[in-house]
């Protein structure tokens, strides 16, 4: 890294500080899902309780998809079409 351009050295230095303080979120493939998955974050879950109509629609959909896999895999890192 010593021969790298200044920009990359500075970037790695800043990242090293974050790594040392455990201030980085490392993206990894989820280990809980096998196949198609619905990924929920806390805001999704909270919204189910905010509206009886929404909760009922969710429960109906879930009942029709018995094998559905639900979990939270870091939705705020998800972008349309983005994959690890």
pLDDT band at residue 57 using 50, 70 and 90 as cut-offs? confident
- DSSP sequence for 9-70: HHHHHHHHHHHHTT--------SS--SS-EE--HHHHHHHHH-HHHHHHHHHHHHH-TT--E
User: Whole-model pTM?
Assistant: 0.39
Res 67: pLDDT: 80
pLDDT per residue over 19-54, tens digit each?
888 887 766 666 666 666 666 665 666 677 777 888
């Amino acid at each position: 890294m010593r021969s790298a351009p200044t920009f990359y050295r500075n970037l790695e230095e800043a990242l090293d500080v974050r790594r040392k303080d455990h201030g980085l979120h490392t993206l990894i493939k989820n280990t809980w899902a096998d196949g198609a998955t619905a990924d929920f974050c806390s805001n999704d879950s909270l919204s189910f309780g905010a509206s009886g109509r929404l909760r009922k629609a969710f429960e109906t959909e879930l009942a029709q998809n018995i094998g559905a896999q639900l979990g939270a895999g870091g939705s705020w890192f998800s972008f349309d079409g983005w994959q690890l």
